[in-house]
Amino acid sequence: MSEVKLEDIVSLCKRRGFIYQGSEVYGGLAGTWDYGPLGVGLKKNIMDLWWKTFVTDRDDMYGVDAAILMNQKVWQASGHATGFNDPLVECKNCKSRFRADHIKGDKCPTCGKEKTFSEPKQFNMMFATRIGPTANQLTVPKEIAEPGVYDEVISARADNTDPSRVYLRPETAQGIFTNYKNVVDSFYPDLPFGIAQQGKAFRNEISPRDFVFRSREFEQMEIEYFIHEKDWQKEFDRWVKDIESFLKELGLPQDKVHKLEVPDDDRAHYSKRTIDFEFDFPIGKEELLGLAYRTDFDLKNIQQASGKNMDYRPKDSSEPFVPHVIEPSFGVERAVMAVLTAAYTEDEINGEKRTYLKLPEHLAPVKVAVSPLLKNKPELVAKAQDVYKTLKKEFGNVMYDDNGNIGKRYRRQDEIGTPYCVVIDFDTLEGDTKDTVTVRHRDTTQQERLDIGELQNRLKS
């Protein structure tokens, strides 16, 4: 368990513009979260680092960006339509619903009554909707609808045979599998090769909770790595190492990351081996991401359901075969939460408590903040603006900050994890120190004096 408290992270995220409750102005919507300006910056840096590490820096990877709405046959073939269920129990007294495996004992957490739970029922977690101008989406009141239309509309079938039914994807993986053949036909890659995708996934979680950890709308970063069956153990082990080094790049301390070999009866229906990478979150040791050996389960199912051949034809003209798959599956929200947990630090400077985010520099949403010592001195402001514009051009994520006094600015920048604050003061304008600035370092709070000309290179290194 992390010593950082969840409420401290939630409160910092809200106060400083990282993450807000979804639809907050209307009282919220359970399981949804909105990223504010700094949250977007942090999330994007994590996602870009992932993409660079696993896609652009490698020559065995192909990126895709598939549609969220997919033909419902995808989810029938993948087993999600029938098997993507969580056990749900209902309290017969207060009607609250819970995930059966999250309930400890037989006391209802809402009303406190004992032994009021129903037998568990299987609850499918996919969000269903309809595509096209169908019945339940009709907003025209019955009285003014075209004769006949309303009747036709309300008789639309609610079961899985409804041809207009579509699901919001519960994993990005299927958008990869359904494009496997396209990528093979367009690029004819050597095996092993991977297809990667980042994007939204949706799950109607029975009890969304613990901030963004268990949300109903979240983002995934997934890879399907296509291999020859005989190589699966070797490739699986390689992925364990690649994931471990990526987690280091996220700044997660090694002793807070744990590997859990998922036992047979807990594995997803498609997996022959799964390792969950767990992290010491403020809520306890919980799953951060998963690595699964999905065998040829998905491609074989697609082959059967679509009638299309999913064979890979080796370039040496040996027998074609359906490849097997190793799947590293990362959740963006959990990565954000782990990075924030690892970075959240409290210390004391000159007897004063300080909170700061010790973010790795390459993930910080703001790399440098530039300030004039006083905002009512035009000569300081002009010089600060010059320095700001130069650094902004070079680094992009640079903030101009002239709010409050310099001490307050440092505190604020510390809290959002800005590694450097550059201050333009009177010494910048004249004397031996002309054209030098103060650079203050977040972690040590130490300051150094640097030539403006040196700044870019020093901050780069």
Q: Which of 86, 205, 235, 425 binds ligand GAP (CB under 6 A)?
A: 205
Q: Is 341 in the site for ligand GAP (CB under 6 A)?
A: no
> In this structure, are residues 89 and 120 in contact, taking their beta carbons and an 8 Å threshold?
yes
**Least separation in angstroms between CB 22 and ligand GAP:** 13
> 435-456: buried (b, 16+ CB within 10 Å) or exposed (e) per residue?
ebbbbbebeeeeeeebebeebe
Residue 281 or 312 having the CB closest to ligand GAP: 281
The arrangement of strands across the sheet holding 273-281 comes to: 61-63, 193-202, 217-227, 324-331, 284-295, 273-281, 257-261
Residue 75 or 388 having the CB closest to ligand GAP: 75
Task: Select the residue whose beta carbon is closest to ligand GAP and give its number.
Answer: 331
Number of residues that make up the chain: 461
- Fill in the per-residue mask, 219 to 258: x = in contact with ligand GAP (CB under 6 A), - = not in contact: -x-x------------------------------------
Q: Is 323 in the site for ligand GAP (CB under 6 A)?
A: no
**Which span (70-78, 150-158, 217-225, 250-258) binds ligand GAP, by CB under 6 A?**
217-225
Q: Which of 214, 324, 409, 442 binds ligand GAP (CB under 6 A)?
A: 214
Q: Is 16 in the site for ligand GAP (CB under 6 A)?
A: no
Number of chain positions touching ligand GAP (CB under 6 A): 16
**Least separation in angstroms between CB 214 and ligand GAP:** 5
Q: Which of 18, 98, 171, 286 binds ligand GAP (CB under 6 A)?
A: 171
> In this structure, are residues 310 and 224 in contact, taking their beta carbons and an 8 Å threshold?
no
Residues 6+ apart with CB under 8 A from 266: none
Q: Is 334 in the site for ligand GAP (CB under 6 A)?
A: yes
> In this structure, are residues 381 and 307 in contact, taking their beta carbons and an 8 Å threshold?
no
**Which span (73-81, 325-333, 347-355, 372-380) binds ligand GAP, by CB under 6 A?**
325-333
> Angle, to 10 degrees, between the axis of helix 332-343 and the axis of helix 6-15?
100
How crowded is the C-beta side of 394, counted as CA atoms within 13 Å? Answer: 16
Kindly report the backbone phi and psi dihedral angles of residue 161, in degrees, each rounded to the nearest multiple of 5, phi listed first: -85, -5
- Fill in the per-residue mask, 357 to 376: x = in contact with ligand GAP (CB under 6 A), - = not in contact: --------------------
Closest C-alpha to 38, from 60, 55, 13, 65: 13
Question: How many other CB atoms sit within 10 Å of the CB of residue 124?
Answer: 19
**Least separation in angstroms between CB 431 and ligand GAP:** 55
d(CA 394, CA 453): 13
Instruction: List the structure tokens of 143.
Output: 């009285």
**Least separation in angstroms between CB 13 and ligand GAP:** 15
The residue ranges that bind ligand GAP (CB under 6 A) are 171, 173, 203, 205, 214-215, 218, 220, 222, 287, 289-290, 329, 331, 333-334
